[in-house]
Amino acid sequence: MSNWIPCCCFSGRQRYYLLHLWILLTVLILVFYRMSHAQPNVLTPSRKDVLVLTPWLAPIIWEGTFNIDILNEQFRLQNTTIGLTVFAIKKYVVFLKLFLETAEQHFMVGHKVIYYVFTDRPAEVPQVSLGAGRKLVVLTVRNYSRWQDVSMHRMEMISDFSERRFLQEVDYLVCADVDMKFQDHVGVEILSALFGTLHPGFYGSSRESFTYERRPKSRAYIPWDEGDFYYMGAFFGGSVVEVYHLTKACHQAMVEDKANGIEAVWHDESHLNKYLLYHKPTKVLSPEYMWDQQLLGWPSVMKKLRYVAVPKNHQAIRNR
Protein backbone atom coordinates (compact mmCIF):
# COMPACT_ATOMS: atom_id res chain seq x y z
CA MET A 1 0.00 0.00 0.00
CA SER A 2 1.29 3.46 -0.83
CA ASN A 3 2.45 5.60 2.10
CA TRP A 4 1.61 8.83 0.19
CA ILE A 5 -0.61 11.09 2.31
CA PRO A 6 -3.22 13.03 0.31
CA CYS A 7 -3.37 16.74 0.77
CA CYS A 8 -6.86 16.47 2.26
CA CYS A 9 -5.33 14.87 5.38
CA PHE A 10 -3.64 18.17 6.28
CA SER A 11 -5.47 20.88 8.15
CA GLY A 12 -6.17 24.21 6.53
CA ARG A 13 -3.31 25.85 8.41
CA GLN A 14 -0.90 23.07 7.38
CA ARG A 15 -1.93 23.39 3.73
CA TYR A 16 -1.39 27.14 3.99
CA TYR A 17 2.18 26.67 5.29
CA LEU A 18 2.95 23.96 2.72
CA LEU A 19 1.78 26.21 -0.11
CA HIS A 20 3.94 29.08 1.09
CA LEU A 21 6.92 26.76 1.55
CA TRP A 22 6.49 25.49 -2.02
CA ILE A 23 6.30 29.07 -3.36
CA LEU A 24 9.40 30.07 -1.37
CA LEU A 25 11.40 27.09 -2.66
CA THR A 26 10.33 27.83 -6.25
CA VAL A 27 11.39 31.47 -5.93
CA LEU A 28 14.75 30.48 -4.41
CA ILE A 29 15.41 28.01 -7.25
CA LEU A 30 14.56 30.63 -9.87
CA VAL A 31 16.72 33.26 -8.18
CA PHE A 32 19.66 30.86 -7.89
CA TYR A 33 19.36 29.86 -11.55
CA ARG A 34 19.18 33.49 -12.61
CA MET A 35 22.28 34.33 -10.57
CA SER A 36 24.31 31.36 -11.81
CA HIS A 37 23.19 31.47 -15.41
CA ALA A 38 22.16 34.97 -16.37
CA GLN A 39 20.79 35.35 -19.89
CA PRO A 40 23.40 36.81 -22.25
CA ASN A 41 22.60 40.15 -23.84
CA VAL A 42 23.73 40.39 -27.45
CA LEU A 43 23.68 44.19 -27.27
CA THR A 44 25.99 44.43 -24.25
CA PRO A 45 29.65 43.28 -24.56
CA SER A 46 31.00 41.31 -21.62
CA ARG A 47 34.01 43.66 -21.37
CA LYS A 48 34.25 47.14 -22.86
CA ASP A 49 37.84 47.89 -21.82
CA VAL A 50 39.60 45.09 -23.72
CA LEU A 51 39.43 43.25 -27.05
CA VAL A 52 37.40 40.06 -26.53
CA LEU A 53 37.32 38.70 -30.09
CA THR A 54 40.03 38.31 -32.73
CA PRO A 55 39.46 39.25 -36.39
CA TRP A 56 39.08 35.51 -37.14
CA LEU A 57 36.36 35.23 -34.45
CA ALA A 58 38.37 33.43 -31.78
CA PRO A 59 37.46 34.51 -28.23
CA ILE A 60 40.09 36.26 -26.12
CA ILE A 61 39.72 34.98 -22.57
CA TRP A 62 39.59 37.62 -19.83
CA GLU A 63 37.91 37.58 -16.44
CA GLY A 64 34.28 38.48 -17.00
CA THR A 65 34.00 36.93 -20.46
CA PHE A 66 32.93 33.39 -19.47
CA ASN A 67 30.67 31.48 -17.09
CA ILE A 68 32.81 28.77 -15.53
CA ASP A 69 29.82 26.83 -14.15
CA ILE A 70 28.39 26.30 -17.64
CA LEU A 71 31.81 25.35 -19.04
CA ASN A 72 32.59 22.96 -16.19
CA GLU A 73 29.33 21.11 -16.80
CA GLN A 74 30.00 20.84 -20.53
CA PHE A 75 33.47 19.39 -20.07
CA ARG A 76 32.31 17.01 -17.33
CA LEU A 77 29.63 15.68 -19.68
CA GLN A 78 32.42 14.97 -22.17
CA ASN A 79 34.42 13.16 -19.45
CA THR A 80 37.45 15.28 -20.38
CA THR A 81 40.99 14.44 -19.27
CA ILE A 82 43.63 17.18 -19.43
CA GLY A 83 47.36 16.60 -19.69
CA LEU A 84 49.74 19.23 -18.31
CA THR A 85 53.32 18.99 -19.59
CA VAL A 86 56.17 20.63 -17.71
CA PHE A 87 59.94 20.40 -18.10
CA ALA A 88 62.04 20.23 -14.92
CA ILE A 89 65.53 19.92 -16.42
CA LYS A 90 68.73 20.42 -14.41
CA LYS A 91 68.28 22.89 -11.54
CA TYR A 92 64.80 23.86 -12.74
CA VAL A 93 63.55 20.85 -10.77
CA VAL A 94 63.63 23.14 -7.70
CA PHE A 95 60.52 24.92 -9.03
CA LEU A 96 58.51 21.73 -9.43
CA LYS A 97 57.09 21.44 -5.91
CA LEU A 98 55.52 24.92 -5.91
CA PHE A 99 54.30 24.42 -9.48
CA LEU A 100 52.50 21.17 -8.62
CA GLU A 101 51.14 22.35 -5.27
CA THR A 102 49.62 25.49 -6.76
CA ALA A 103 48.31 23.51 -9.75
CA GLU A 104 46.44 21.29 -7.32
CA GLN A 105 44.83 24.41 -5.84
CA HIS A 106 43.94 26.24 -9.06
CA PHE A 107 44.43 24.17 -12.26
CA MET A 108 41.40 22.36 -13.71
CA VAL A 109 39.90 21.80 -10.27
CA GLY A 110 37.20 19.12 -10.40
CA HIS A 111 38.49 17.58 -13.64
CA LYS A 112 40.75 14.64 -14.46
CA VAL A 113 44.37 15.71 -14.88
CA ILE A 114 47.63 13.93 -15.70
CA TYR A 115 50.82 15.84 -14.92
CA TYR A 116 53.57 14.84 -17.35
CA VAL A 117 56.90 15.84 -15.81
CA PHE A 118 59.84 15.71 -18.20
CA THR A 119 63.07 15.59 -16.20
CA ASP A 120 66.65 14.39 -16.19
CA ARG A 121 66.48 14.07 -12.39
CA PRO A 122 63.59 11.68 -11.65
CA ALA A 123 64.84 11.02 -8.11
CA GLU A 124 64.35 14.71 -7.28
CA VAL A 125 60.71 14.89 -8.33
CA PRO A 126 58.85 15.86 -5.12
CA GLN A 127 56.02 13.92 -3.55
CA VAL A 128 52.89 16.08 -3.78
CA SER A 129 49.44 15.10 -2.54
CA LEU A 130 47.07 14.86 -5.51
CA GLY A 131 43.30 15.06 -5.60
CA ALA A 132 40.95 12.38 -6.86
CA GLY A 133 41.22 11.71 -10.59
CA ARG A 134 44.64 13.32 -10.83
CA LYS A 135 48.01 11.63 -11.23
CA LEU A 136 51.65 12.39 -11.98
CA VAL A 137 53.76 10.65 -14.63
CA VAL A 138 57.53 11.12 -14.67
CA LEU A 139 59.13 10.99 -18.13
CA THR A 140 62.92 10.68 -17.95
CA VAL A 141 64.70 12.58 -20.72
CA ARG A 142 68.25 13.78 -21.40
CA ASN A 143 69.49 17.27 -20.68
CA TYR A 144 71.48 19.59 -22.93
CA SER A 145 74.48 21.76 -22.22
CA ARG A 146 72.76 25.04 -23.13
CA TRP A 147 69.40 26.19 -21.76
CA GLN A 148 68.49 27.32 -25.29
CA ASP A 149 68.80 23.72 -26.47
CA VAL A 150 66.67 22.49 -23.58
CA SER A 151 64.02 25.03 -24.55
CA MET A 152 64.06 24.15 -28.24
CA HIS A 153 64.03 20.38 -27.70
CA ARG A 154 60.77 20.68 -25.75
CA MET A 155 58.93 20.81 -29.07
CA GLU A 156 60.58 17.57 -30.19
CA MET A 157 59.77 15.77 -26.93
CA ILE A 158 56.14 16.92 -26.77
CA SER A 159 55.66 15.93 -30.41
CA ASP A 160 57.25 12.53 -29.85
CA PHE A 161 55.26 11.70 -26.72
CA SER A 162 52.03 13.05 -28.22
CA GLU A 163 52.30 10.46 -30.97
CA ARG A 164 53.50 7.63 -28.73
CA ARG A 165 51.42 8.19 -25.64
CA PHE A 166 49.38 11.35 -25.09
CA LEU A 167 46.91 10.65 -27.91
CA GLN A 168 45.79 7.52 -26.05
CA GLU A 169 45.66 9.06 -22.56
CA VAL A 170 44.29 12.62 -22.63
CA ASP A 171 41.95 14.83 -24.65
CA TYR A 172 43.79 18.13 -24.28
CA LEU A 173 47.39 19.15 -23.63
CA VAL A 174 48.47 22.27 -21.78
CA CYS A 175 52.20 23.01 -22.14
CA ALA A 176 53.64 25.16 -19.37
CA ASP A 177 56.94 26.46 -17.98
CA VAL A 178 57.95 25.15 -14.55
CA ASP A 179 59.38 28.37 -13.07
CA MET A 180 55.86 29.70 -12.50
CA LYS A 181 53.02 29.24 -10.06
CA PHE A 182 49.25 29.14 -10.32
CA GLN A 183 47.87 32.03 -8.28
CA ASP A 184 44.20 31.95 -9.30
CA HIS A 185 41.70 29.85 -11.22
CA VAL A 186 42.90 28.32 -14.51
CA GLY A 187 40.21 26.01 -15.81
CA VAL A 188 38.39 24.60 -18.81
CA GLU A 189 37.71 28.10 -20.16
CA ILE A 190 41.16 27.88 -21.79
CA LEU A 191 40.48 24.61 -23.61
CA SER A 192 40.02 24.68 -27.35
CA ALA A 193 41.44 23.01 -30.44
CA LEU A 194 44.45 25.35 -30.29
CA PHE A 195 45.22 28.18 -27.90
CA GLY A 196 48.05 30.64 -27.40
CA THR A 197 48.69 33.21 -24.67
CA LEU A 198 49.35 36.91 -25.18
CA HIS A 199 52.83 37.93 -24.07
CA PRO A 200 52.53 40.24 -21.03
CA GLY A 201 55.12 42.62 -22.44
CA PHE A 202 53.46 43.10 -25.83
CA TYR A 203 49.69 42.77 -25.43
CA GLY A 204 49.17 46.50 -25.95
CA SER A 205 51.91 47.01 -28.54
CA SER A 206 51.94 47.41 -32.32
CA ARG A 207 53.33 44.58 -34.45
CA GLU A 208 56.39 46.65 -35.34
CA SER A 209 57.61 46.32 -31.76
CA PHE A 210 57.09 42.55 -31.57
CA THR A 211 60.35 40.61 -31.20
CA TYR A 212 59.57 38.23 -34.05
CA GLU A 213 62.40 36.61 -35.95
CA ARG A 214 63.10 39.18 -38.71
CA ARG A 215 65.87 37.39 -40.65
CA PRO A 216 64.47 35.82 -43.85
CA LYS A 217 67.01 32.99 -43.61
CA SER A 218 65.19 31.53 -40.58
CA ARG A 219 62.09 29.37 -40.86
CA ALA A 220 60.66 31.49 -38.03
CA TYR A 221 60.83 34.66 -40.17
CA ILE A 222 57.84 37.03 -39.99
CA PRO A 223 57.85 40.20 -42.15
CA TRP A 224 57.39 43.60 -40.49
CA ASP A 225 53.93 44.09 -41.98
CA GLU A 226 52.56 40.74 -40.72
CA GLY A 227 51.52 39.42 -37.34
CA ASP A 228 48.43 39.52 -35.14
CA PHE A 229 49.75 39.13 -31.60
CA TYR A 230 52.96 38.11 -29.88
CA TYR A 231 52.43 34.80 -28.09
CA MET A 232 54.35 33.54 -25.06
CA GLY A 233 56.14 30.22 -25.42
CA ALA A 234 55.55 29.42 -21.74
CA PHE A 235 51.82 28.60 -21.95
CA PHE A 236 50.09 27.09 -24.99
CA GLY A 237 48.05 24.03 -25.85
CA GLY A 238 44.95 22.52 -27.36
CA SER A 239 43.71 19.13 -28.44
CA VAL A 240 46.44 16.50 -28.51
CA VAL A 241 46.23 16.28 -32.31
CA GLU A 242 46.66 20.04 -32.78
CA VAL A 243 49.49 20.24 -30.24
CA TYR A 244 51.19 17.37 -32.05
CA HIS A 245 50.96 19.24 -35.37
CA LEU A 246 52.27 22.46 -33.78
CA THR A 247 55.20 20.91 -31.95
CA LYS A 248 56.19 18.69 -34.88
CA ALA A 249 56.17 21.66 -37.28
CA CYS A 250 58.20 23.82 -34.89
CA HIS A 251 60.73 21.05 -34.30
CA GLN A 252 61.16 20.42 -38.02
CA ALA A 253 61.63 24.15 -38.63
CA MET A 254 64.32 24.32 -35.92
CA VAL A 255 66.12 21.33 -37.45
CA GLU A 256 66.15 23.13 -40.81
CA ASP A 257 67.42 26.33 -39.18
CA LYS A 258 70.24 24.42 -37.52
CA ALA A 259 71.22 22.85 -40.84
CA ASN A 260 71.32 26.36 -42.32
CA GLY A 261 73.48 27.72 -39.50
CA ILE A 262 70.88 29.98 -37.90
CA GLU A 263 69.06 30.01 -34.56
CA ALA A 264 65.86 32.01 -34.16
CA VAL A 265 66.13 35.02 -31.88
CA TRP A 266 63.77 33.60 -29.22
CA HIS A 267 64.29 29.94 -30.08
CA ASP A 268 61.12 27.81 -29.81
CA GLU A 269 58.98 30.86 -28.98
CA SER A 270 59.91 32.43 -32.34
CA HIS A 271 58.80 29.28 -34.16
CA LEU A 272 55.60 29.12 -32.07
CA ASN A 273 54.72 32.65 -33.19
CA LYS A 274 55.36 31.78 -36.83
CA TYR A 275 53.12 28.71 -36.56
CA LEU A 276 50.27 30.58 -34.85
CA LEU A 277 50.42 33.33 -37.45
CA TYR A 278 49.48 30.89 -40.22
CA HIS A 279 47.50 28.41 -38.10
CA LYS A 280 45.20 30.73 -36.17
CA PRO A 281 44.45 29.68 -32.58
CA THR A 282 40.81 28.97 -31.82
CA LYS A 283 41.17 30.70 -28.43
CA VAL A 284 43.58 33.38 -27.26
CA LEU A 285 44.36 33.73 -23.56
CA SER A 286 44.79 37.20 -22.12
CA PRO A 287 47.92 38.08 -20.09
CA GLU A 288 45.99 37.06 -16.97
CA TYR A 289 47.31 33.61 -17.88
CA MET A 290 50.96 34.67 -18.11
CA TRP A 291 52.13 37.52 -15.91
CA ASP A 292 55.19 38.83 -14.07
CA GLN A 293 54.03 41.03 -11.23
CA GLN A 294 57.57 41.88 -10.15
CA LEU A 295 58.32 43.43 -13.55
CA LEU A 296 54.89 44.70 -14.59
CA GLY A 297 52.96 45.43 -11.39
CA TRP A 298 49.19 44.87 -11.41
CA PRO A 299 47.41 47.15 -13.92
CA SER A 300 43.67 47.70 -13.53
CA VAL A 301 42.86 45.88 -16.77
CA MET A 302 44.01 42.65 -15.11
CA LYS A 303 41.08 41.59 -12.92
CA LYS A 304 42.97 38.43 -11.92
CA LEU A 305 46.55 37.21 -12.15
CA ARG A 306 46.23 33.50 -12.75
CA TYR A 307 49.61 32.04 -13.77
CA VAL A 308 52.55 34.13 -12.62
CA ALA A 309 56.33 34.14 -12.69
CA VAL A 310 58.29 33.09 -9.61
CA PRO A 311 61.15 35.49 -8.75
CA LYS A 312 64.45 33.88 -9.66
CA ASN A 313 68.08 34.41 -10.58
CA HIS A 314 68.28 33.13 -14.16
CA GLN A 315 72.07 33.09 -14.24
CA ALA A 316 72.20 30.90 -11.14
CA ILE A 317 69.91 28.28 -12.72
CA ARG A 318 70.50 28.23 -16.47
CA ASN A 319 73.22 25.92 -17.80
CA ARG A 320 73.69 24.31 -14.38
Q: In the beta sheet, which residues pair with residue 72?
A: none
Q: Which residues of 155-172 are buried (b: 16+ CB within 10 A; e: fewer)?
A: bbbbbbbbeeebbeebbb
Cβ partners under 8 Å of residue 253, min gap 6:
219, 220, 271, 274
Give the C-alpha separation, 303 to 168, whole Å: 37
103-109 long-range contacts, CB within 8 A, separation 24+: 103/182, 104/128, 104/129, 104/130, 104/131, 104/134, 105/182, 106/182, 106/183, 106/184, 106/185, 106/186, 106/306, 107/182, 107/186, 107/187, 108/82, 108/84, 108/186, 108/187, 108/188, 109/185, 109/187
Q: Give one word for 297, left, alpha or beta, with left for phi > 0 and alpha for psi -120 to 50.
A: left
C-alpha distance from residue 221 to each of 5, 121, 228 (Å): 78, 35, 14
- Residue 124: active-site member: no
DSSP labels for 170-204?
A: -SEEEEE-SSEEE-S-B-GGG-SSEEEEB-TTTTT
Which of 63, 189, 242, 269 is labelled catalytic?
Answer: 269
Which run of H or of E encompasses 235? Answer: strand 235-239
Q: Which of 165, 177, 230, 243 is nearest to 204 (CA)?
A: 230
R_g of the chain computed on alpha carbons? 24
Q: Give the phi and the psi of residue 86 in degrees, each rounded to 5.
A: -150, 140
Active site residues: 269
